[in-house]
Every structure is written in C-alpha cells, then in structure tokens.
Structure 1
C-alpha cells in the first residue's frame, strides 16, 4: 500500500485548557496530491474543558478546483489515525476507517499488525460504522460512547490563494502585499471529512507532554491506497 502522512499532537489529559492542534496541507502532498488519498487537514482535540474524550477529524480531497471535486470517498483508500503512546514515534495503536457501499466502517483502537508503510484492516476489532452523510449530517454513537461521522463538510482552510501567487510573482510591480480583507479561495469548497470522538480510556494514558507541560498523545494520520 502507498501511504501519505500528516502529523499532529492530541490533548490527552483531563481538566486542562481545551485546545486544538492542527496540520493543514492542501493538494500538495508528494505522491498523493490531486487524488482521493490526499490529506487536507488533521485535527485532534478534547471537545470540552472537562472532557474525558478525544476527537479526531481528518479532511480528505480538498475541492479547491472543479477538476478536484470528487465528492465521494474512495473504497480503495484506508484512512489510519496512528497513536504513539511511548514516545518512539512508532504507532502503538491505530484507528482505521474505510468506506463500503455508502457507509464508513471504523476499526480499533488496536495494536497494528505491522508498522510503517504497510497496513492491514483490523477486521477483528470493529469500532462501529455510520452512513456516509450527504446534505444532512448523520452521527452514530455506539454503546461504548464512540461518536462517528463521515461525509462532505465545508473546507475549514482560509487562504487567499490567488493573491498569494500574485504577491510571489516576479512581475508584480507594487508592494501592497495581501489584501485586507482577503478573498477566501476555499469558500464554498468541501472536503470529505471523517470524524471520531472516543473516550480517552480506549487510548490509554499519554506518555508525552507538549511545550505547555500538558500530557498529550503523539498522533498522525495516513492514507493507505490499495495496490
């Protein structure tokens, strides 16, 4: 399988200030840009100040231009949230999501059968499934308190892409810089979003701390395309 990677840190403690760590990389990941495996954003955060849960959000397929407007999940692409619990930057747990016949199926958290570039769907560790949303968002909550979502969402990335190119252009004959306010090139564009909120008890105790001294999970997301 071909794999692309996005890194992020997730809050994993209770009673600390809620926060978000975000990675964004639209349509320029080597080997996957402009494909159904392209990762646009990855968010990991505690949903509330006193939450015992962690939320992961993965955005795929940034629909910036008409020829990138896929509008559906690719059944040959496995999305994998990797979690390092001992600080060695090797995944100790994975959460997987793969679409089939209009539903998104989730597996894990489970110790992966292999680490690195190859992945196998953990079919013996089902976490739940949810109908892939269309116009109306659908959220499924399991008996274990795990909430699941999959479907198109408004692209959260705000960027004046065309003005950015103008500013960088050698032929630009003024020094006005960026427009204030700028024009959001991503306004009205969608990404295909996978979201999961689950109890921290399913992830174990975090062993790392961030620069604020807050306990965190080291986590990153990959897309794996069937070869």
Structure 2
C-alpha cells in the first residue's frame, strides 16, 4: 500500500444524509480561495428505494462565472467520512485526490482517524478527467459514477441585504424570496460527485428526522504535511 501523510485543513459540517444541505462559504484564511475550503456537502438517494447513495462536495475556489474550468489543488485530498456504528468515528472513507488532470477515487477503512489521514490505494473506485473543456461523468464496472469539475454555486443568499440588516441599515428587514437578489448567481464551485452502491459502503445504522435509515457522514479536506 502506498501511504502519504496528510494533515487536516478544513472540516465540513456533520450531517445525517437523507437529504440534508449545508452551506459554509469562505472558511479560515488559510483555506479561503482554494479547494481546501469546503462550501457545501450533500448526501442523498438518487431515487426512492435506490440501493445507491450520492455524495456531492462543493469546494470553494476562485472560479469566475466566465471561466469554464478552475483548478483542484494537488496538495489537497478530499475525504468523505462514513460512520457505520454511531460512535462519530469514520469506519469507511472515500478519498478524492487530483493528480495531473485526473481525479482519483479510493474507498477504504482508515488506519488513522481524526486529524490525520493516509492515502489508501487498496480499493481504487475509479478516475475521471478534470482537464479539458468538456465535463465528463465516468461509470465504472462496479456501478460507481464519478464527476469532478466546476458547477454553479447552489447557495441562494442575498449577501448585501444580510449585511445591511446585521449592520442596522435595513429597518425593513430581510427581503422576500421574490425581491431578494442571489449574490452567488453565476458563481461557481469546484464539485466532486460520486454515486456509489450501498453494498460497497456497508449497512447504514443512523436514523434521520423522518425516521429513515441513513449514513452518518461528514467531509474533510486534508493538506500534505
């Protein structure tokens, strides 16, 4: 097994996946403007009764609306952590690692948990191109679908009105959805998407607010030490 030591750079919000959404744009100064900065994490079934789970990680970077593609930082590994026994410690991890125009995906049981991770190459899930001008989705023989590249920011937020309200400059308060301006319209994030059969992950044991059995999952980014 090829091992590389990485240290934790940024921690995404913990979610129980059924369909829960989290938005956290621009983290600590050391991660802002790079793909170490986690913006959103989504986890859901692609269809009712499906035996697959979809994970979407949006990473913040300086991707302008008029640019077709941004860049994944090759010093950063994105890791989707999955807790199968309810102790809030990852039992399975999906790792996404960019190298020379390719995003490589791996699945494994971590030999380190918490603030440090190692690249686990025993179970490669597949790879997808992250260069060129055409976004592609790869489907592997094991039924895993992979994507990595820019996508429009899904976060709807009237940033300027929010600042006005917080600063006491907008006594009328927040605007209605029809009146509000989406400050992030046209902005992009660098997205990593994987649809994976549940049989590769293990049996989910958590329950969400709707009483559905789901995976307890969170995302981290790790930078090479």
Same fold (TM over 0.5): yes
Q: Is the 8 A contact 1:134 1:151 kept in 2?
A: no
The reply on whether 1:2 has 2:1 as its aligned counterpart is no
The residue aligned with 2:55 is 56
Are the structure 2 counterparts of residues 178 and 64 from structure 1 closer, same or farther at C-alpha, using a change threshold of 3 Å? Answer: farther
Match of 2:70 in 1: 71
1:136 equivalent in alignment to 2:142? no
Separation in 1, partners of 2:129, 2:34: 23
In the alignment, is residue 178 of structure 1 matched against residue 150 of structure 2? no
Provide the C-alpha distance between the structure 2 equivalents of 1:191 and 1:134, rounded to a whole number of angstroms.
Answer: 17
Match of 2:121 among 106, 123, 140: 123
Give the SS at the match of 1:201.
helix
Q: Give the C-alpha shift of residue 51 in structure 1.
A: 0.9
Contact 2:63 2:70 in 1 (8 A): no
| TM-score between both structures, scaled by the size of structure 1 | 0.88
Residues 91-106 of structure 1: pairs in structure 2 closer than 5 A: 91-106=90-105
How far did residue 217 of structure 1 move? 0.8
Aligned CA distance change for structure 1 residues 142 and 25 (closer, same or farther; 3 Å): same
Structure-to-structure mapping, 1:33-52, within 5 angstroms: 33-52=32-51
Work out whether 1:205 is the aligned partner of 2:212.
no
Question: Match for residue 188 of structure 1?
Answer: 186
Alpha-carbon shift at residue 215 of structure 1 (Å): 0.6
Query: Any idea what SS the aligned residue of 2:163 has?
Result: helix
Stretches of structure 2 that go unaligned for 5 or more consecutive residues are 1-6
